[in-house]
Amino acid sequence: MSEFFAYIIMRKVAYLSLLFFTLTASIASSCEEKKAAPKVISSLFGKWELSYSIKGGYGYQYDPYIHYKLSNGCIFQFNKDSTYKHYENWTLVSKGDFHTRHIKKTGLDEISLGNNSMSYFFQLKNEGLYLSVPTPDAGGDVYERISN
């Protein structure tokens, strides 16, 4: 008879443990995670003009670069108040807020423009800003700083 009671007690302990685990998991998943303030890289501030594009894909039999003349009017302007303006041929095509973040898993930096409607991977090197869309093998654009 004592084995029967031990069995019943063991089942109740297992049931209560499972119930406790389930409740804890559901409470933890429903808690909203605090998000850190968006990170902005100060060396990004200023005006950047399109210098050249790098075509995506592989196996090209020709020059994968498209070079642009100076003063072509294709400009990104990033301001200290986390706003941006984007010009194509000297015409304003978009503006709004931006923020940046570092993706630890990939080691890449990302910039999101206008309520996350558009995002790019970016890299700052030698007074150049490299932007590419976050898809594999997409190529990208290189912008040169024209003012701070």
Full residue range of the structural domain in which residue 134 is found: 42-147
Q: What's the pLDDT score for residue 11? A: 55
- Name residues whose C-beta falls within 8 Å of residue 147's C-beta, 6 or more positions apart in sequence: 46, 47
Verdict on whether the full-model pTM lies above 0.75: no
Task: Identify the top-confidence range among 53-57, 116-120, 130-134.
Answer: 130-134
Strands 108-113 vs 46-54: parallel, antiparallel or unpaired: unpaired
Same domain (yes/no): 67, 121 = yes
Same domain (yes/no): 60, 9 = no
Same domain (yes/no): 100, 140 = yes
- Higher-confidence residue: 140 or 27? 140
